[in-house]
Amino acid sequence: MNHNASNFDVLDFDVYCGMFSKELVKGTLRIVVLRLLEREGRMYGYQMNKRAKELTDGNYQLSEGALYPLLQKMVQQGLVTTETEQANGRPRKYYSITEKGLEAARQKRLEFEHFAFTMRRLLDLQTK
Amino acid sequence: MASLSTEQIDQVIDYLANRNLDGDFREELVDQICCELEAALVAGQAFNEAWSDMQSRWPPARIKKLNNSIQFIKFKPMLIKITAAAAALAGLIWLLPGLPAESETIVYAEKNESTEVQIKDESAAISNTTDEMQNNLRELQMRNMRFTGAIRQDILKPRLSPLKGVALVDAHSGFGIRKHPISGEMLMHNGIDLVAPLGTPVFATADGVVVFAGPNGANGIQVRINHQGGYTTVYNHLQSHENLIVGQPIFEGAQIAKVGSTGASTGPHLHYEVRKNDEAINPC
pLDDT tens for each residue of B134-157: 877 777 777 776 666 655 557 778
Q: What is the pLDDT of residue B204?
A: 93
Q: Which of A44, A120, A128 is opposite residue B31, by nearest beta carbon?
A: A44
B181-198 residue pLDDT tens: 788 788 888 899 999 999
Out of B31, B72, B207, the one facing A120 most closely (by C-beta) is B207
User: For chain B, what percent of residues have pLDDT higher than 70?
Assistant: 88
Mutate to test the interface with A, among B35, B74, B250 (most CBs of A within 10 A): B35
Cβ contact B253:A127 at 8 Å: yes
In the prediction, which pLDDT does A13 show? 42
Contacts of A114 in chain B (CB under 8 A): 152, 228
Report the distance separating Cα B163 and Cα B202, nearest Å: 5
Per residue in B238-260, pLDDT (tens digit) is: 999 999 999 888 888 889 999 99
Q: Which residues contact B24 (CB under 8 A, 6 or more apart)?
A: A93
Task: Report chain A's mean pLDDT, rounded to a whole number.
Answer: 82
A7 pLDDT tier (thresholds 50, 70, 90): very low
pLDDT of residue A16 exceeding 60, the answer is no
B positions 46-75 inside 8 Å of A (CB): 62, 65-66, 68-70, 72-74
Rounded distance between C-alpha atoms, residue B58 and residue B53, angstroms: 9
Distance in angstroms (rounded) separating the CA atoms of residues A116 and A110? 10
Chain B residues in contact with A120 (beta carbon < 8 A): 207
Contacts of B80 (CB under 8 A, 6+ apart): none
* pLDDT on residue B51: 94
Percentage, residues of chain B above pLDDT 90: 38
* Mutation choice for B interface testing from A16, A126, A128 by most B CBs within 10 A: A126
Which chain A residue shows the shortest CA-CA distance from B1? A88
The larger pLDDT score, comparing residue A7 to residue B262, is at: B262
CA distance B182 to chain A (A): 38
- Position B139 scores a pLDDT of 76
DSSP H/E element including B70? helix B60-95
pLDDT for the residue B84: 84
A117 and B228 within 8 Å at the Cβ level: the answer is yes
* DSSP, res B266: S
Q: Of A25-39, A87-101, B144-158, B248-262, which range is least confident?
A: B144-158
Band of the pLDDT at A8, cuts 50, 70, 90?
A: very low
Cβ atoms of A117 and A99 within 8 Å: the answer is no
- Which among A65, A88, A126 has CB closest to B207? A126
**pLDDT for position B126:** 82
| B160 touching A (Cβ < 8 Å) | no
Residues in chain A: 128
* Structure-model confidence comparison of residues B35 and B72, the more confident one: B35
Mutation target for B interface from A62, A63, A64, A125: give the one with most B CBs within 10 A: A64
Closest partner residue to A117 (CB to CB) among B9, B73, B207 is B207
Reduced to 3 states (helix: H, G, I; strand: E, B; else coil), residue A44 is: strand
pLDDT band for position B221 (cuts 50, 70, 90): very high
Mean pLDDT of the B226-232 span: 89
Q: At what angle do helices B60-95 and B23-42 cross, to 10 degrees?
A: 160
Q: Could you list the beta-strand ranges (E) of B159-230.
A: 176-179, 186-189, 192-195, 201-203, 208-215, 221-226
Predicted confidence (pLDDT) at residue B219 exceeds the cutoff of 70: yes
CB contact under 8 A, A89 and B9: yes
Query: What pLDDT shows up at residue B152?
Result: 57
**Cβ neighbours of A45 in B, within 8 Å:** 28, 31-32
User: Long-range pairs for A89-94 at CB < 8 Å and ≥24 separation?
Assistant: A89/B3, A89/B4, A89/B6, A89/B9, A90/B9, A90/B27, A90/B30, A90/B31, A90/B34, A91/B27, A91/B30, A91/B31, A92/A44, A92/B31, A93/A44, A93/A45, A93/B24, A93/B27, A93/B28, A93/B31, A94/A42, A94/A43, A94/A44
CA distance A40 to chain B (A): 19
pLDDT in tens, B107-119: 555 566 666 777 7
Beta carbons of B35 and A64 less than 8 Å apart = no
**Chain B contact for A119 (CB, 8 A cutoff):** no
Looking at residue A12, its amino acid is: D
* Mean pLDDT, range B124-136, rounded to an integer: 81
Amino acid A5: pLDDT: 40
- If you count residue pairs, one on A and one on B, with CB atoms under 8 Å apart, how many are there? 79
Confidence tier at A17 by pLDDT (50, 70, 90): low
The fraction of chain A above a pLDDT of 70, given in percent, is 84
Confidence tier at B232 by pLDDT (50, 70, 90)? very high
* pLDDT tens sequence across B20-37: 888 888 999 999 999 999
As for the ipTM of the complex, it is 0.78
Is residue B234 within 8 A of residue B272, CB to CB? The reply is yes
Instruction: Write down the pLDDT at residue A126.
Output: 61
Q: What is the pTM of this model?
A: 0.50
- Taking CB atoms and an 8 Å limit, are A69 and B69 in contact across chains? yes
Contact with chain A for residue B157, Cβ under 8 A: no
> b/e string for B132-156 if b means 16 or more Cβ within 10 A?
eeeeeeeeeeeeeeeeeeeeeeeeb
Total residues found in chain B within this entry: 284
